[in-house]
Amino acid sequence: MKGLELSRRYFETYGRPMLEREYGQYTGIIAAGLAGHGSECLGFDDEYSRDHDFGPGFCIWIPERYESVIGEKLQRSYELLPLYFEGYEVSDCAPGRRERIGVHSIESFYRTLIGREDAPKTEMEWFCIPERFLAMAVNGELFCDPLGEFSGIRRKLQEFYPEDVIRKKLAAKCAVMGQAGQYNYGRCIRRGMYETAGLSCSRFVMAALGAIYLLKRTYMPFYKWAFRGAEEFADWGSEVEELKKLMGLSDIHDYAAKMLLIERLCIRVKSAIVRGGWSYGEDCFMQIHAEHITEQIKEPRLRMLPIMAGE
């Protein structure tokens, strides 16, 4: 059973009845679900995920103004819930697990992930939040939120970046694809710098994946799950498979094939960018498209940043 489904069933079996029985007058301000850290919040957990931080459990979120009223009591009630459920043991004592489940304020949940208690308001505020933390702030599932305070912030974050922030980040991805893949990879090979060629290839792959996520208006998760998340994009299936292939080929023996793959992937990403109206022209050197995209940025502070800022 997937961790998210286990969490939902545990909540419906024990969590919701406990809240209704012991906190009836407060159920209108209590949100519950599972979100934040962990592969189970992305739906990517498997049998290997069960050796750490896995088991039945869920989060309870309350407004910070109610913490002094019911926070500690609510946490004690949560800790008294059954320790075993459908063959799985509650593992909230594992390192880091206790901070991921149980009772938290709405404000502290968002503060720990995006550094603020509400959704960003300006382009620069959006730009300064690392993308993987935005991915964690919107993943998982809400089981209940009658007040709507938690889900209101969540919805604003799920609407994705403002257009100028997308442009800035997309320009940075294109610049890295051009520099690391189209320019430096081949130069490293010719110099016999195979270890540096490997680094260049990795930077190219991460930038290409990042561009695909931006074009799909989806936050790219922690690098460990970047490929797994990209597998959900059916219209980019062949490109994702080619990026995987690129990572698996040898820089010593297969460099010619890798250079061809790099160029082919650049052509496909460039074509999608042009179709989307982000850039123009037939040139396939990604640095040029980074500059074209930057030209369209209206927010002056974003436009003046180094072209690779936001990669």
Domain-wise residue ranges, the chain:
3-158, 163-304
The predicted-structure confidence for 154-185, as pLDDT tens digits, reads as follows: 999 999 999 999 999 999 999 999 999 999 99
Contacts of residue 301, defined as CB under 8 A and 6 or more positions apart, other chains included, come to 123, 124
Query: Hey, which residues does 88 pair with through a beta bridge?
Result: 85
- Whether the predicted pLDDT of 52 surpasses 70: no
Q: Is a pLDDT exceeding 80 seen at residue 75?
A: yes
Report pLDDT for 91: 66
Residue 298: per-residue pLDDT: 98
pLDDT band at 46; cut points 50, 70, 90: confident
Residue 288 has pLDDT above 80, yes or no: yes
- Work out the average pLDDT over 281-310: 97
Quote the tokens at residue 176. Answer: 């890295």
Q: What is the pLDDT of residues 242-270, one digit of tens each?
A: 999 999 999 999 999 999 999 999 999 99
For residue 89, report the phi and psi dihedrals to the nearest 5 degrees: -100, 140
Q: What are phi and psi of 252, to 5 degrees?
A: -85, -45
Q: What does the alpha-carbon distance between residue 288 and residue 273 come to, in Å, rounded to a whole number? A: 12
**150: Cβ contacts below 8 Å, ≥ 6 apart:** 31, 61, 106, 109, 142
User: How crowded is the C-beta side of 104, counted as CA atoms within 13 Å?
Assistant: 22
**Which position has the token pair 């809400």?**
142
Q: Which residues pair with 253 in a beta bridge?
A: none
Q: Rounded mean pLDDT of 106-125?
A: 98
Average pLDDT over residues 92-118: 83
Residues 173, 214 contacting (CB under 8 angstroms): yes
- The per-residue pLDDT for range 128-154, each reduced to its tens digit, is 999 999 999 999 999 999 999 999 999
Return the beta strands (E) in 77-161 as ranges. 84-85, 88-89, 102-105, 141-144
Name every residue whose Cβ is closer than 8 Å to that of residue 196 and which is 6 or more positions away in sequence: 184, 188
Q: To which H or E segment does residue 62 belong?
A: strand 59-62
Q: What is the pLDDT of residue 7?
A: 95
87 sits in the region (left: phi over 0; alpha: psi -120 to 50; else beta) called left
Strand ranges, E, within 29-87: 31-34, 59-62, 84-85
Model pTM?
0.94
Beta bridge partners of 32: 60, 144
Encoded tokens for 108 = 């502290």
- The kind and range of the H/E element at 150 are helix 149-158
